[in-house]
Structure 1
Amino acid sequence: MEKIICDEIRRFVREDAGNRFPGREERYFDEPLIGFAAADDPLFTEYKTVIGDFHFTPAEMAAQLAGEGDRHLRSQSPESGWTPRTVICYVLPITDATRASNRPETMYPSRAWAQTRMHGETFNGALRRHLVSFLAAAGHRAFAPQFHPCWKEYSDTPVGIASSWSERHAAYAAGLGTFSLNDALITPRGIGHRLGSVITDLALRPSQKPYAHRTYNCLFHRNGTCGACITRCPVGALSKEGHDKQICRQHVYGTVPQAVGETYGVTATGCGLCQTRIPCESRIP
């Protein structure tokens, strides 16, 4: 069943028209990376300490679906008491051409990067919904945490801005990558990507976690070298001490859309400067 699910995710990414720039054949994302985490992996409980007690475990999210009516969340009629078995996670790598377009930029993202952030994330949502429907057709319960009615973003926590479900931390639990100095996830396809997850009662074989610790893929954390992402940030949100989420957020969600959003024809732009022209852009360095 693991192969069937992987094949279907790859097929959707390859064939769906939503993974295309407007009026062009070029895609937002290359072939995805896919991993599976056991829903009862102790990491999900640990995240309530690492991130905050507001971060849900898969079981807590499943329990709160009883009585909710969003057809995009659940694969069957409301029912309490079902047990999630697996968190299916995937990485959507941004194409090499879009990464290349962002490398020369020094203040704002390229047009292709901004369009990928907005329209590519819309496609990501469609993939989440498709995977839920695919599992439902096979007789399994499933939902996408990102569309869960209890999903919430918190602006003032001990770790800064955080949400009640982290796609990055789910992907880490599924063996897809480790964290970087700039708080992104370094995967075998690098750091430029979008992430998604779906929780299901289908029991699948968990993926191995091929790393020694949670920041192993980052050269700065691994052996004290690099730090290239620090100099790429145009607003000083990165330092050897880490990532200032508030400064970063003000630039990405305030300054950048105001400056180039209308020109690019998008309302969400991203930034991605610290994810390009660095050693971990497209691989584990």
Structure 2
Amino acid sequence: MDGIISAEIGRFVREESGNRFGEGGERYFDDPLVGFAAADDALFMQYKSVIGEFHLTPHELALADAGEPWHPRTVICWVLPITEATRTSNRPETVYPSRAWAQTRQHGETFNASLRRHLVRFLEERGHRALAPQLHPAWREYGETPVGIASSWSERHAAYAAGLGTFSLNDGLITERGIAHRLGTVITDLALKPSPRPYLHHKVNCLWHRDGTCGACIGRCPVGALSKEGHDKRICRDHVYGTIPAKVAETYQVTSTGCGLCQTKVPCEGKIP
């Protein structure tokens, strides 16, 4: 069944018009990576210490779901790699993202939400319970926590649990297709074989954390939110959700722009360096 799930996610990404720049345009995302984590994996409880007590486990999300209580067994995770063309357009930028990057952030994430809803329906039509944490009423964002801005469900941490990548100096997830991507998750009562986690530690794909080299993302940040000590989420957020939209959102015809400078023109942009 894991092959069927992966195939359906791949089909949706390839065929749905929502994954395109306008009618018949190029895709926002290349073919996805898909991984699976056991809902009772000990990592999900550990995240209450790593992220915060407010971070929900798959079981807590299922208990908060509407209808009869149900027992989650699998967290399905996917990576939507941003296309080479869009990444190329963002490399020369030094303050604001390219138009293609900004449109991928808004319209591509709208497509990603459609994929979440589609997969929930796909599973329910086959007699299973399912939910998308990012779209669930229990999802919350917290502005002041020991780890800075955080939410009640982290798709990056779920993807790490599903063997899809490890963390970077800028807090992104470096996958085999790099760090320039969007992520998605769905929790279900369908039991699927967990994907292996083929890494030595949770930061091994990042050159800075692996051997102290690189740090290219530090120089790519126009507002100094990155340093050898890590990622200042507050400075980053003010730029990404305040300064950039105020400057280019109207011109780009979007409301959310993203930034992505630290995810492009870096060695981990499209691969594990």
User: Is the TM value for this pair above 0.5?
Assistant: yes
C-alpha deviations, 1:206-263, integer Å up to 9, x for none? 0000100000000000000000000000000000000000000000000000000000
Q: Does 1:111 align with 2:103?
A: no
1:127-175 residue CA offsets vs partner (Å, 9 max, x unmatched): 0000000001111000000111110000000000000000000000000
What is the rounded CA distance, in whole Å, between the counterparts of 1:207 and 1:116 in structure 2? 28
Partners of 2:127 and 2:163 in 1: CA distance:
26
Please list, as runs of the form range in 1=range in 2, the aligned pairs for 1:1-285 lying within 5 A after superposition: 1-65=1-65, 68=66, 78-80=67-69, 82-285=70-273
Whether the aligned pair in 1 keeps the contact of 2:17 and 2:23 (CA below 8 Å) is no
Q: Deviations over 1:33-79 (max 9, x none)?
A: 000000000000000000000000000110111xx3xxxxxxxxx11
Q: CA deviation at 1:102?
A: 0.1
Amino acid at match of 2:186: V
Provide the C-alpha distance between the structure 2 equivalents of 1:14 and 1:25, rounded to a whole number of angstroms: 12
Rounded Cα–Cα distance in structure 1 between residues aligned with 2:64 and 2:125? 22
Say if 2:180 and 2:260, in contact at 8 Å, map to a contact too.
Answer: yes
Q: Give every structure 1 segment of 4 or more consecutive aligned residues whose post-TM-superposition deviation is greater than 3 Å.
A: none
| Runs (5+) with no aligned partner, structure 2 | none
Counterpart Cα distance in 1 of 2:23 and 2:99: 15
TM-score (norm 2): 0.99
Distance 1:134 1:150 in 2: 22
Instruction: State the one-letter code of the partner of 1:4.
Output: I
Deviations 1:260-283 (A, max 9, x none): 000000000000000000000000
CA–CA distance in structure 1, aligned partners of residues 221 and 89 of structure 2: 16
Deviation per residue, 1:64-119 (Å, 9 max, x gap): 11xx3xxxxxxxxx112x11000000000000000000000000000000000000
Distance (whole Å) between structure 2 residues aligned to residue 240 and residue 23 of structure 1: 43
Q: Give the aligned residue type for 1:99.
A: R
- The AA in structure 2 aligned to 1:183 is D
Q: Give the partner amino acid of 1:224.
A: G
C-alpha distance after superposition, 1:175-222 (max 9, x if no partner): 000000000000000000000000000000000001000000000000
User: Quick one: distance in 2 between partners of 1:63 and 1:233?
Assistant: 40
Q: TM-score, normalised by structure 1?
A: 0.95
1: CA distance between counterparts of 2:138 and 2:190?
Answer: 22
Q: Secondary structure at the match of 1:18?
A: helix
Separation in 1 of the partners of 2:24 and 2:91?
22
Once residues 47 and 26 of structure 1 are traced to their aligned partners in structure 2, the CA distance between those partners, rounded to angstroms, is: 37
Using the alignment, how far apart are the partners of 1:186 and 1:192 within structure 2? 8
Take 2:239 and 2:213, find their aligned partners in 1: how far apart are those partners? 27
- Give distance in 1, aligned partners of 2:52 and 2:212: 28
Q: What secondary structure sits across from 2:17 in the alignment?
A: coil
Residue aligned with 2:266, SS: coil
CA distance in 2 between counterparts of 1:24 and 1:228 reads 35
Shift of 1:25: 2.1
Q: Distance in 1 between matches of 2:6 and 2:229?
A: 38
1:23 is displaced (CA, Å) by 3.3
* Ranges in structure 1 where 5+ consecutive residues have no aligned partner: 69-77
